Amino acid sequence: MADLMHTHRTGYSKMENNQQDIPVDKLVFVAKHFGIAVDDIIFFNEKNNVPNEVSMEDTAVLEQLKLINELDAEEKNILLKLIETFVSKKRFKDYLQKNIATL
């Protein structure tokens, strides 16, 4: 992520650990890169009901995230595109099922 934001890893680490504010230009850049609004980043936890603590049930997911961090940038981009494709497909399927049910 530090590379994506064109910032040093120590600076990114400080931002990640709330020791340093994220510059507005970096925030806008990240939002544009991921195709989301800046307020979706700022209010992510509130909008997505993210828990403050991770439960033991989430350890498998955390292990998978650690494995993803071992990938190079190109491999991560491919993986993100695959995830986006599956999520879009599911959302579209759910949308169709909901709208067909109302007919």
For residue 35, what are its two tokens? Answer: 């195709």
In this structure, the answer to whether residues 12 and 44 fall within a common structural domain is yes
State the pLDDT at residue 59.
78
Residues 61, 20, single domain; the answer is no
Position 92 scores a pLDDT of 92
Answer yes or no: are the C-beta atoms of 71 and 65 closer than 8 Å: no
| pLDDT score recorded for residue 28 | 87
pLDDT tens sequence for the chain (103 residues) = 888 788 888 988 888 888 988 888 888 888 888 888 888 878 776 666 655 666 666 778 888 888 998 999 999 999 999 999 999 999 999 988 888 877 6
67 and 34 within one domain: no
Q: Domain of residue 80: give its range.
A: 54-103
Give me the number of domains the chain comprises: 2
How far lies 20's CA from each of 23, 40, 74, 97, in Å? 9, 20, 28, 45
Amino acid 76: pLDDT: 92
Same-domain status, 36 and 4: yes
Are 45 and 60 part of one and the same domain?
Answer: no
**pTM for the whole structure:** 0.41
User: Are 58 and 101 part of one and the same domain?
Assistant: yes
